[in-house]
Amino acid sequence: MEISNEGQNIEDYLKLHNDVLAFKIGKEFVDVSSENLKTTTEPIQGVTFHDEDGKHIFWHSSAHLMAAAIKNLYPNAKLGTGPAVDNGFYYDVDFGENGFDNNLKKIEDEMMRLAKQGDKFIRKKISKEECLDLFNGVNEYKCELIENLNDGDISIYKQGNFTDLCKGPHIPNTSLIKAVKLTNISGAYWKGDCTRNQMTRIYGISFPSKEELKTYLTNLEEAKKRDHQVIGKNLKLFTFSQNVGLGLPLWLPRGTVVRRQMEQFLRKKQIQAGYKEVITPHIGNKNLYVTSGHYEKYGKDSFQPIHTPDDNDEFLLKPMNCPHHCEIFKSEQRYYKDLPLRLAEFGTVYRYEQHGELHGLVRVRSFTQDDSHIFCRKSQVEDEIKNVIDLITVVFSKFGFSDYVARLSFRDLNDRSKYIGDEKDWDIAESAIEKIAKDKNLPFTVAYGEAAFYGPKIDFMVKDVLGRKWQLGTVQLDYQLPRRFNLTFLNENNEKEMPVMIHRAPFGSIERFIAVLLEHTSGRLPVWLAPDQVTVLPISEKYFDYANEILDKLKGVGIRAIADLRNEKLNKKIREAELMKIPFLVIVGEKEEQEKTVSVRFENATETTSIDVFIDKIRSLSEF
């Protein structure tokens, strides 16, 4: 809700809108008690729990509430950082020599006791010296954070007897937190550095009503039933091996079919859209990633350099495909008539994710991106990105994802050190991204600090059947890598000109996309994507020959079919086929053999038809 601040009494407004958690002034979020509300000339926007930004503010405040409860129960505990995340919040805590007793219920109860007190979240600006004095000798983690802050930009928040270092904003008071559930415990190294202290990370979620928590917990139970790791094992799609390594998935024959079908679908769409497919190695010289900036930004998250017999050579497992595609662009003289040049690759990349962060196919150390890099002129940027958005929406529609929003990921407003390149280029790129989103009528939010180090991006946040949000497709605008790699083409005047680079991946990570799809569908994949589309089930041994005849006809026209020729009861065969989520069950017996027909079970309906009609039906459902 947007309001004008002219003559507006904020206190009166809050009485009418008691669900407002904070305000947004331009690009900045502030507390409802902020003095800036009285002096700003910009429009003011109220933020509630129904807004994504409102949820994050609510959950960040809940992290502070949890920290206060922990300090009450474990006075010697030292707090690290406690941000909001996509579904709730966490706080990293050093519980000291005695460790943590894993009693989450005790912390929950203390949180609710404190919440009922209704303590206000009070912000205070503080000098760097004062802030260090506050935490010196008490919490070395906070002191380390303070040392890296600029004097004049530091603030603390107090609720009740608890004080924490924080930029804010926060909800007005703790009484707005009506329901809390602490969901998980894991280990986490301080600042993600495995050479630093290991802390206890406690995850939680909170809501402004008990009913919302109840709904969330119900969905959580349903999510356990839909766990893609369980589905993947039951359907024999993928596996993991300690001997191969953590976070390195092994794709089984049935899972490989799913992947190949996805690739063929997108490959066809890309050919139609003018993409040219390339293949690049799984490793690259370290200098390649130094040039691109990936080594500086992600070196700690990459596998360490591979040393060759020549001591002067160092290679890295490929963390990104884009530097390789830059070198392909440079491999020959390019001309303005060659642009846009759209290079596509199903490229496998490698990231050394921390052990505690690995999760099934969602977070792995080896994954394949449906990557493409479009090299174009500045005048072509808008049309190219719009075409990419059209392609991404086609992909989502094909896989049954209809509920999604775009997240415009821009630079951090306060910390420019995470990015490379000229500020002017960034301003142009961010303005272009926002204009394109509006032109395409995309529902979008803006996330500051989520940009890639080389440019802003549009990330697509997809809701699954349980309402959970997943980041899948992405398109990114990059003025920086072409400059770092000295990429040029000859324009109409035979002068060198630098191209603009667009990164895009409709699936994002194929592994992650499949994980989300399995949970969204409970493993019941559409006919065109199913590993086995048909299983032929003879009712007894007498009809094995006819079952094989049907099987041969199906396989002969490219339908993925199997036959269950075990000497088992038909009901058992049907039950096992249904557990494997095979779309079509073809049952044959005496009548079918005599009439040269098949009895087909599909989506809880049964019909008898000729084999040719049945084949036509499968083909129609298998089209890309």
- Catalytic residue numbers, as ranges: 322, 351, 369, 371, 373, 457, 503
In this structure, are residues 96 and 71 in contact, taking their beta carbons and an 8 Å threshold? no
Residue 606: which H helix or E strand, with range?
strand 605-610
The rounded distance, in Å, linking the Cα atoms of 167 and 191 is 18
> What percent of the residues of the chain are helix, what percent strand, and what percent coil, each to the nearest 5?
40, 25, 35
What three-state secondary structure class fits 500? strand
The rounded distance, in Å, linking the Cα atoms of 548 and 81 is 63
Q: Using alpha carbons, list the distances in angstroms from residue 82 to 29, 91, 200, 213.
A: 18, 4, 12, 21
The DSSP code sequence of 140-209 is HHHHHHHHTSPTTS-EEEEETTEEEE------SBGGG--EEEEEEEEEEEGGG-TTS-EEEEEEEEEESS
The rounded distance, in Å, linking the Cα atoms of 455 and 426 is 7
Closest residue by Cα to residue 508 from 362, 365, 343, 386: 362
The rounded distance, in Å, linking the Cα atoms of 249 and 361 is 7
In this structure, are residues 71 and 202 in contact, taking their beta carbons and an 8 Å threshold? no
Q: How many CA atoms lie within 13 A of 238 on its CB side?
A: 27
Tokens representing residue 134 in the block = 């506050």
Tokens representing residue 508 in the block = 């994002």
Find all residues with CB under 8 Å of 424, minimum gap 6, and list them: none
Q: Using alpha carbons, list the distances in angstroms from residue 151 to 28, 139, 148.
A: 20, 19, 10
What three-state secondary structure class fits 225? helix
The rounded distance, in Å, linking the Cα atoms of 524 and 526 is 7
Tokens representing residue 26 in the block = 């331009």
**Bond preceding residue 340 cis, omega within 30 of 0:** yes
Closest residue by Cα to residue 29 from 60, 1, 53: 53
Tokens representing residue 241 in the block = 């091996």
Q: Using alpha carbons, list the distances in angstroms from residue 1 to 19, 34, 278.
A: 11, 18, 48
CB atoms inside a 10 Å sphere around CB 304: 11
What three-state secondary structure class fits 465? coil
